Structure 1
Amino acid sequence: MLIINNFEEYKSHLGKELGVSKWHRINQEQINQFADATLDHQWIHVDREKAETEGPFKATIAHGYLTISLIPYLWKQIAEVRNIKMEINYGIERFKFGQPVLVDSEVQLKAKLVSIVNLRGVTKVVIEATLVIKDHPKPAYNGDVVFLYHFIA
């Protein structure tokens, strides 16, 4: 795991891959819980029987936003940013879904530092996030996530 203690340490990683998370299996229970939380019960996600017989993937698939919502959890496995008062998920930019994540697939986050700037004491970083699906050549998605860090002076 990468340990980052301050702005200068963070900046030293500019343009570099920061690391990869552990593999995470997305099972039907997690998909169903996400459907309940977001009120998105489209059959392609929650109806295993219909998905297997009528669906284009012959299995249920994870919601795209479910896979995006895993970023904070998977990011914490890649880097620990210390000496901060606050960390804010500030935004997502230019995200594209490459392929669906079938139920019981394992996914892994790869992170690269694209930019970092000090905005009068607030550090804004842009991380290129790629969600890899185990045993698949094409990622589930690729895009940029933006974090704001308030380092302790």
Structure 2
Amino acid sequence: MITVDSAGELTERVGTVLGHSGWVTMPAERIAAFGALTGDEHWVHVDRERAKADSPFGDVLAHGFLLLSLVTGLANECYEVRRAERWTNYGLDRVRFTAPVTPADSLRLELTLDSLEETTTGFRLVLGCLLERQGSDRPAMVADWIVLITEGDSR
């Protein structure tokens, strides 16, 4: 994990990998709970028996938005800005779900710092997010995530 006092200290790391998270699994129960929470309870996500019988993937599939929702927590394993008082999720420029994820998969985040810009209130980071699947050359998801950081005095 990379730890800095101010986001400005990351300038030298633009264009590089900030870090990798630990591996996480995607149990069928988590996939089903996300479906219940969001109202997306299509059988391909929640009915394991039918998915095993009728899906080419052999099991239920994780929702794309479930994969996307992992990014914040996994990014916290990659870098820390000590003086950050507020992190604002400004949005995404690009998101692609590039491979199916089943409960058999383990995932981790590779986080790159694509750009860093100082603003009047702090810093604007564009983070390249690659959700890797263990044992596969094809990632589950790629995204460009924009984060605004407002800093205070050292803690």
TM-score, normalised with respect to structure 2: 0.95
The aligned residue for residue 108 of structure 1 is 108
Alignment check: 8 A CA contact 2:52 2:58 kept: yes
**1:66-107 deviations in whole A, cap 9, x for unaligned?**
000000110011111211221111111211111111123110
| Aligned partner letter, 2:79 | A
Count of aligned pairs: 153
Alignment check: 8 A CA contact 1:28 1:104 kept: no
**Whole-Å Cα distance in 1 between the matches of residues 81 and 14 of structure 2?**
15
Relative to structure 1, the CA distance from residue 100 to residue 36 in structure 2 (aligned partners, 3 Å threshold; closer, same or farther) is same
The aligned residue for residue 91 of structure 2 is 91
90-99 or 18-27: which moved more?
90-99
| Structure 1: segments with no counterpart, 5+ residues | none
- 4+ residue runs of structure 1 moved beyond 3 angstroms? none
The aligned residue for residue 117 of structure 2 is 117
* Counterparts of residues 130-149 of structure 1 (less than 5 Å): 130-149=130-149
Cα offset, 1:8, TM superposition = 2.4
Q: Kindly, what percent of the aligned residue pairs are identical?
A: 31
The aligned residue for residue 13 of structure 1 is 13
**Whole-Å Cα distance in 2 between the matches of residues 130 and 89 of structure 1?**
17
Alignment check: 8 A CA contact 2:128 2:143 kept: yes
The aligned residue for residue 150 of structure 1 is 150
3-state DSSP of counterpart to 2:146: strand
TM-score, normalised with respect to structure 1: 0.96
The aligned residue for residue 66 of structure 1 is 66
**Whole-Å Cα distance in 1 between the matches of residues 74 and 45 of structure 2?**
22
Cα offset, 1:12, TM superposition = 2.0
Alignment check: 8 A CA contact 2:8 2:118 kept: no
The aligned residue for residue 40 of structure 2 is 40
3-state DSSP of counterpart to 1:77: coil
Cα offset, 1:109, TM superposition = 0.2
| Aligned partner letter, 1:105 | D
- CA RMSD of the aligned region, Å? 1.0
The aligned residue for residue 80 of structure 1 is 80
3-state DSSP of counterpart to 1:53: helix
